[in-house]
Amino acid sequence: MFSCKLCETEYVYVSSLCDGCRRIKHFMNIYTPQRVYDILDNVLSRNEQGQETKMKDEIKNEIENKQYNLRNKQIKRGTEEN
């Protein structure tokens, strides 16, 4: 049994990261580590109300990008079928 390499508060048996910290690693794989650092810096350097607003802004950008990419894929798929 070892402590988690990131949070150093949870104990792990097989992997080096606990479940919570593995989620952070997962986001780094999806969005790049720099994007995760930027979001954490932008969000956590504010007071609680500012954090909530900033979280919504940050997440809104990600959701809009995903929706834009999905729309483009659907349009591309539509033109390939015709």
Task: Identify which of residues 24 and 54 has a Cβ nearer to Zn ion in the complex.
Answer: 24
Select 8 or 52, whichever has its Cβ closest to Zn ion.
8
Residues within the interface to Zn ion (CB under 5 A): 4, 6-7, 10, 18, 21
Closest contact distance (angstroms) between CB of 19 and Zn ion is: 8
CA nearest neighbour of 15 among 23, 7, 24, 5: 5
**Closer of 20 and 50 to Zn ion (Cβ):** 20
Is 45 exposed, middle or buried (CB count within 10 Å of its CB: 0-12, 13-18, 19+)? exposed
